[in-house]
Structures are given as C-alpha cells and as structure tokens.
Amino acid sequence: MKILGINGSPRGQESMTGRLVDAVLCGAREAGAEIEFIDAAALRIRPCSACTLCYQTGECPKQDDFAALYEKMLEADGIVFGSPNYIDNVSAQMKAVFDRMADAVHCQFFAGKYGCAVATAGGAGADDIATYLNHVLQILGADTVGAVAAVMVAGPEAFAATEKEAFALGKNLAAAITDCRTYPEQEALHAEMAAGMKALVFANKDVWKHQYDHWVAQDRN
C-alpha cells in the first residue's frame, strides 16, 4: 500500500500545509502504508500549453519534473493533496500540477484509488480549498475519505488539534485502501464522469488515439 502526499505550498520547511500533509502521512504509515512526501514547489513543472499531445500519445512533450511525479501518482494507492488558500484558490504550484493532468481526467486513471485533502488559510477559506482538492481527486476517478482545514488566525493550539485530525485522517485513508471501501454517494459522480469523458474521447477518436485505445480496452475488460 503506497500513499503519496503532495504539498502545494511554496514555503518549504516553514509550510503549515506541509505539516498537515506530513501528519496525514504519519497516520497512514502507522496503519501500515508506505509513504512519500512531495514538495511541489521544489519541482520544475511548466505550465500546460494545451497542445493536446497527451491526448494523442499519452505523453507530455515538456521536459521537466512532471512525468516523474505523475508516475508516482499512478503507482500510488492513495493520494493526499495539500494547498494553502491563495486568493480563494490553490497555490500556483499545485494548479500547475493539476493543469498537466487532463489526460488522467479524460481516461479516469485514478479510478480505484483513494484520496484526501488538507488546506490552510491565514484568515478564512481553508474549508473551500480542501473541498476543491477533494473535488479534483474525484473528477480524476478517486474516492475521497475526508479533509481537514486549518485557519492560522485561530492560533497554535487550534492548529495542533488540526494536526491530530490530519493524523487520524491518514489512518482512515489507509484503512479505506485496506478494506477496499466503497462510497455510494460518490459512485454517481464517477459514473457520470466516466460516461462524459468516454463520449468526449469517442467524439475525437480520429485524433486522440491514445485515449480512444484506452476506452476501447476498458470496454473489452
């Protein structure tokens, strides 16, 4: 069981978001998972240029750190996304990762995976960011098991309590993977996404060969 945590904060060792991602991973490790922490800000990930070559070939032509990160995500059983609230959205570092994952959305490559989210904010909006991060996991095909959010203005005692919640969330994530849990309330979204993405790909089958071949293979299985 592999669980990957991706911290979208650019603050390095001072990142409070990173502390929450780490707490989730520690909880997962205690529950038996193999864990890895990734600092997205330490990677060189270029913006998506909408060339659509990944739709056609399954590979991005950009020479940077994304391919290695993406491979780790595909190999993981569980994914933890973490980001601070930067003007009511995720950080630029995290958004750059997401924007390079259109192929994964079209092919629903995270189906069968599990995930969760953590978020921070100076004064407000952390809950909204955590909800968005889980939404991204869901549209990629993953089941989400929960989220925690911290507001820095609440003070260090409140943050310490949130770290404990994050630790428990990590244990829950690992348990969901071990138990192969199902979440009926998310099944409708997954079915709708899969049907919509398949229809989109089939409408472009003459150009998006890689994605078309993927969905044909899914039908055969």
Question: What are the tens digits of pLDDT across the range 159-187?
Answer: 999 999 999 999 999 999 999 999 999 99
pLDDT at 1 over 90: yes
C-alpha to C-alpha distance for 50 and 71, rounded to whole angstroms: 20
Q: For residue 125, what pLDDT is reported?
A: 97
C-alpha to C-alpha distance for 179 and 173, rounded to whole angstroms: 10
Question: What are the tens digits of pLDDT across the range 176-216?
Answer: 999 999 999 999 999 999 999 999 999 999 999 999 999 99
pLDDT at 221 over 80: no
Map out the domains of the chain with their CATH numbers. Answer: 2-220 (3.40.50.360)
C-alpha to C-alpha distance for 12 and 84, rounded to whole angstroms: 12
Provide the terminal-to-terminal Cα distance of the chain, rounded to the nearest Å.
24
Question: What are the tens digits of pLDDT across the range 71-120?
Answer: 999 999 999 999 999 999 999 999 999 999 999 999 999 999 999 999 99
C-alpha to C-alpha distance for 22 and 48, rounded to whole angstroms: 28
pTM of the full predicted structure? 0.96
The β-bridge partners of 78 are: 3, 114
**SS3 for 106?**
helix
